[in-house]
Amino acid sequence: MNLRTWQALYNSLIALGIVMLVVAILINERHVVIMIVLGIGGLVIAIAGFILQLIFWKCPHCDKHLPTTGTFGMIRCPYCGNDLFK
């Protein structure tokens, strides 16, 4: 998979995990089992997204790990200067 596909996958996992956590918080206290399952599931999915980001968010040319902050709109590697998404 290319870098754009990995980026979409881990961003989707993080967003899905956060949505599941919010839903678990908003569920009525009568449904404790559903609340726990959604909460734990959301946490696991969000953590999986963060782990994927740590593993696969690297330049396809120089293989250095890219920074995780301030990367919105980044199209070139800050280390080698090559295009990240070609």
Burial of residue 33 (number of CB atoms within 10 Å: 0-12, 13-18, 19+) = exposed
Measured CA distances, 8 to 5, 14, 43, 57 (Å): 5, 10, 19, 11
Q: What is the pLDDT of residues 37-79, one digit of tens each?
A: 999 999 999 999 999 999 998 999 999 999 887 777 888 999 9
What is the structure's pLDDT at 50? Answer: 93
Statement: the pTM of the whole predicted model exceeds 0.85: no
pLDDT computed for residue 68 by the predictor: 80
Residue pair 64/81 in contact by the 8 Å Cβ criterion: no
